[in-house]
């Protein structure tokens, strides 16, 4: 009688655990990125680490500040490369993409597994039925050495989405609606279980957009069931065998929230918080200066395909910059093969290296004072993109692409 | 764990890790003293110059929401802040703080104003507002975190025990 979280953690702890229990349990996979690896190295040394428990279960990704814009960053990248070489971890270097897109693509995130990553959006892999959560560098270093971490077994809120998404409304709109409804700390320390016919109808890529935003409600994980689509996604990717974990029919939930998405509008998160969400009708017409399509939330090929469909044969409005960051090398290659990149560039997009792009204010498009950015990312905090005097709104790729053409926040249902 | 004393530096709800230390700084360096100059820069410019060693950051709900950056508690420590007192904390920040040995105290902070003199007894879980002559009871830390904090942080816990010794 357990939730997905309780059942995955029970299987790993080797005993039946329930919400509130403190457990030390084995970790199946670990990841860190260029903002968190330097401190992981420091913590590993402070702990007098000599080797990794299992080097094949850890990858490092250089994505947040890539390619390096300055020498201090280059030197940190060099330190990460030598750490990976010395201890036998795989490193995905500049140009290979965003950690949370690479990890599922490369078959590291498996149903029923426990994953920790030194990045808060590690919860993305919940869409693949992984108990995956973000930790700090010191927790990661401890797990590299011991193969384990500790958890408080979370209680679970179930979110059920039924109905059929209208044309022009996407999984990002469900995700933003979720953060608006739960608020930024509505699920702190809790697990989310996300299900329903609207979720079943989504591709695995689109599901990851929703699990990605779980942390914006404070949640530890954003878990979905493993279904035929999950199995098909992993068929050529999975690095080992796996078994999906479903909740028991008599599992105990802290709350069950239901919503019908049939009448959902495109949603916009307004600055400076991700839970400050409005339906597009209340904000359309707001002038934009820069539009950004990419990130671990919405930089997958399906996202770029939607944007290209809207931008095909059109031009970005005068005075608007459109920046597109394909989220991985695989995404970039497949977007080139089907002509998506050509359409985007012809419409006026500036396409960056597969990376986090300008999401976290390191490089690739820092807005100027008082500029308005419409972004497909997951955070709109003041200063997030490198300038505290700019204003960041969040939306789906469709809303972003159509707004880039219009020069203001515009409703993509008009053209779809 | 000693008694801490200093003045309250008051913040509101939902202080996120980008406000504590912006991404544009954290990717450049691992020098926390250098990064501490930019602590809370976007929400309270010049904050670092106001801090007297031992001061407390006092905040509302959901302190430390957002990214997993351990630079956030490390920079707060490097700036001379002795503890963060808030109504509640975001999960990863809370855990990171304990791991790096920054005390985090959960209690009702409504009655604490900017500049109030505070004394905090971590062992007893009491925040004493000396200015107002009022004592506030804090939510006790989970025992597992007390063990880590008593060892000085997770790295020190590992050095001492050679691995996790929490159960």
Enter the DSSP assignment of A388.
Answer: T
Q: Which residues of B touch A51 (CB under 8 A)?
A: none
pLDDT value at position A87? 98
Calculate ∠ Cα A355-A42-A147, nearest 5°.
Answer: 85
Q: What share of chain A has pLDDT > 70, as a percent?
A: 100
Q: How many domains does chain A have?
A: 2
Q: From A65, which residue of chain B is nearest by alpha-carbon distance?
A: B27
How large a percentage of chain A has pLDDT more than 90? 100
Chain A contact for B23 (CB, 8 A cutoff): yes
Between CA A12 and CA A277 the distance in angstroms is 37
Q: Which residue of chain A is at minimal alpha-carbon distance from B101?
A: A138
Last residue of a domain, one of A229, A259, A289: A259
Does a structural domain hold residue A253? yes
Q: Are residues A185 and B92, on separate chains, in Cβ contact within 8 Å?
A: no
Q: How far apart are CA A359 and CA A379, in angstroms?
A: 8
The domain that holds A19 is classified in CATH as: 3.30.499.10
CB-CB under 8 Å, A73 with B28: yes
From the list A290, A390, A415, the residue with the least C-alpha distance to A348 is: A290
State the Cα–Cα distance between residues B110 and B93, nearest whole angstrom: 21
Q: Is residue B164 part of a domain?
A: no
Query: Cβ distance A264 to A280 under 8 Å?
Result: no
User: How far lies A28's CA from each of A19, A114, A117, A411, B97, in Å?
Assistant: 21, 5, 11, 42, 25
Which of A234, A259, A284 is where one domain is finished? A259
Q: Is residue A40 part of a domain?
A: yes
Contact B42 A361 (CB under 8 A): no
Same domain, A157 and A298: no
Q: What is the pLDDT of residue B167?
A: 74
Residues of B in contact with A355 (CB under 8 A): none
Q: Answer yes or no: is B157 within a domain.
A: no
Best B17, B92, B100 member to test A by mutation, with max A CBs in 10 Å, is B92
Do A207 and A312 reside in the same domain of the chain?
A: no
Tell me if A120 and B19 make a contact (CB, 8 A cut-off): no
Please tell me whether residues A405 and A315 are part of one structural domain: yes
A360 near A340, Cβ under 8 Å?
A: no
Q: Name every residue whose Cβ is closer than 8 Å to that of residue A371 and which is 6 or more positions away in sequence.
A: A289, A290, A387, A390, A391
Residues A243 and A340 in one domain: no
Query: A172 and A217: one domain?
Result: yes
Contact A378, A297 (CB under 8 A): yes
The answer as to whether B161 is a domain residue is: no
Q: Which of residues 66-125 of B touch A (CB under 8 A)?
A: 66-71, 74, 88, 90-92, 95-96, 99-100
CA distance B51 to chain A (A): 22
For residues A376 and A394, the answer to whether their CB atoms sit within 8 Å is: yes
Angle between helices A301-311 and A329-337 (to 10 degrees): 40
Residue B163 belongs to a domain: no
Write down the pLDDT at residue A340.
98
Probe site for chain B from A136, A271, A379 (most B CB atoms < 10 A): A136
Contacts with A136 from chain B: Cβ below 8 Å: 68-70, 92, 95-96, 99-100
Range of the domain at A359: 269-414
Residue A264 lies in a domain: no
Helix (H, G, I), strand (E, B) or coil at A119: coil
- Averaged pLDDT, groups of 10, chain B, 167 residues long: 89 96 87 95 96 98 95 97 97 96 96 98 93 96 90 94 89
pLDDT for B26 equals 82
B153 min Cα distance to partner chain A (Å):
9
For residue B144, is it within any domain? Answer: no
Question: Is residue B152 domain-resident?
Answer: no
- Which stretches of chain A score pLDDT less than 70? none
Give the number of other Cβ atoms within 10 Å of residue A268's Cβ. 27
Q: Does B12 touch chain A (CB under 8 A)?
A: no
Looking up residue B23, the CATH number of its domain turns out to be 3.20.19.10
In a domain, residue B145? The reply is no
Residue A155 inside a domain? The answer is yes
A360 in the same domain as A301: yes
Strand order of the sheet with strand A277-279? A277-279, A267-269, A391-394, A372-375, A290-294, A321-325, A349-351
Q: Give start and end residues of each alpha helix (H) in A204-347.
A: 204-212, 228-234, 295-298, 301-311, 329-337, 340-346
Domain C-terminal end among A226, A259, A292: A259
* Residue B105 forms part of a structural domain: yes
- What local confidence, expressed as pLDDT, does residue B1 receive? 55
Q: Suggest the residue from A185, A273, A367, A375 to mutate for an interface test with chain B (most B CBs closer than 10 A).
A: A185
B58: containing domain: 3-138
Residue A209 and residue A295 share a domain = no
B151 touches chain A (CB under 8 A): no
Q: What is the pLDDT of residues A62-86, one digit of tens each?
A: 999 999 999 999 999 999 999 999 9
Cα distances (Å, whole numbers) of residue A98 to A34, A162, A165, A284? 11, 31, 28, 30
Closest residue in B to A47 (Cα–Cα): B155
Domain count across chain B: 1
pLDDT digits (tens, 9 = 90+) for A91-121: 999 999 999 999 999 999 999 999 999 999 9
* Chain B residues with CB-CB distance to A141 below 8 A: 155
Q: Is B19 on the interface with A (CB under 8 A)?
A: yes
Name the residue among B18, B67, B100 with its Cβ closest to that of A138: B100
* Residue A65 sits in the same domain as residue A123: yes
Using CA atoms, how far apart are residues A234 and A254, in angstroms rounded to an integer?
31
Q: Residue A360: closest CA among chain B residues belongs to which residue?
A: B23
User: Is A113 within the bounds of a domain?
Assistant: yes
The answer, as to whether pTM is greater than 0.95, is yes
């Amino acid at each position: 009688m357990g939730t997905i979280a309780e059942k995955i953690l029970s299987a790993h702890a080797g005993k039946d655990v329930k919400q509130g229990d403190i457990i030390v349990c084995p970790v199946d996979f670990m990841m860190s990125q260029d903002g968190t690896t330097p401190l992981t190295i420091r913590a590993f040394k402070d702990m007098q680490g000599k080797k990794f428990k299992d080097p094949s279960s850890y990858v490092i990704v250089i994505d947040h500040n890539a390619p390096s814009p300055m020498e201090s960053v280059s030197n940190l990248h060099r330190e990460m490369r030598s750490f990976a070489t010395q201890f036998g971890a795989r490193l995905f270097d500049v140009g290979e993409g965003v950690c949370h897109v690479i990890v599922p693509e490369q078959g590291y995130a498996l149903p029923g597994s426990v994953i920790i990553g030194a990045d808060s959006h590690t919860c993305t892999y919940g869409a693949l039925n992984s108990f995956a959560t973000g930790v700090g560098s010191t927790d990661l270093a401890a797990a590299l050495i011991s193969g384990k971490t500790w958890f408080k077994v979370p209680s679970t809120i179930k979110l059920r989405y039924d109905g059929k998404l209208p044309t022009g409304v996407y999984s990002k709109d469900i995700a933003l609606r979720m953060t608006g409804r739960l608020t930024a700390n509505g699920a702190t320390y809790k697990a989310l279980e996300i299900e329903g016919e609207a979720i079943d109808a989504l591709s695995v890529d689109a599901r990851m957009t929703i699990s990605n935003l779980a942390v914006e409600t404070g949640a530890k994980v954003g878990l979905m069931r493993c279904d035929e689509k999950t199995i098909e996604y992993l068929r050529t990717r999975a690095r080992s065998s796996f078994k999906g974990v479903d909740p028991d029919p008599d599992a105990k939930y802290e709350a069950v929230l239901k919503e019908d998405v049939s009448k959902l509008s495109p949603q916009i998160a307004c600055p400076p918080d991700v839970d400050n969400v409005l339906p597009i009708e209340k904000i359309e017409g707001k002038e934009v200066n820069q539009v950004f399509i990419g990130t671990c939330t919405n930089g997958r090929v399906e996202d770029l395909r939607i944007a290209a469909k809207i931008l095909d044969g059109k031009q970005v409005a005068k005075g608007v910059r459109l920046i597109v960051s394909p989220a991985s090398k695989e995404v970039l290659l497949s977007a080139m093969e089907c002509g998506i990149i050509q359409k985007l560039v012809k419409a006026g997009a500036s396409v960056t290296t597969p990376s986090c792009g300008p999401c976290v204010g390191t490089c690739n498009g820092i807005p100027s004072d008082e500029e308005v950015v419409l972004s497909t990312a997951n955070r709109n905090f003041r200063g997030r993109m490198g300038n505290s005097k700019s204003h960041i709104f969040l939306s789906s790729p469709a809303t972003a692409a159509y707004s880039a053409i219009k020069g203001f926040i515009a409703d993509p249902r008009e053209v779809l | 764990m000693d008694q801490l004393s200093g003045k309250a530096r008051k913040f509101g709800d939902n202080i996120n890790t980008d406000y504590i230390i912006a991404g544009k700084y954290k990717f450049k360096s691992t020098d926390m003293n250098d990064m501490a100059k930019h602590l809370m820069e976007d929400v309270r410019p010049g904050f670092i110059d106001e801090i007297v060693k031992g001061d407390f950051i006092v905040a509302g709900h959901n302190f430390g929401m957002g990214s997993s950056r351990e630079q956030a508690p490390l920079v707060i420590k490097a700036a001379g802040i002795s503890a963060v007192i808030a109504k509640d904390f975001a999960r990863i920040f809370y855990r990171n703080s304990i791991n790096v040995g920054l005390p985090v105290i959960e209690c009702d902070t409504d009655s604490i104003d900017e500049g109030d003199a505070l004394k905090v007894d971590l062992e007893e879980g009491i925040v004493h507002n000396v200015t107002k002559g009022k004592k506030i009871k804090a939510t006790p830390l989970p025992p597992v975190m007390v063990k880590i904090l008593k060892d000085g942080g997770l790295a020190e816990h590992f050095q001492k025990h050679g691995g996790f010794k929490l159960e």
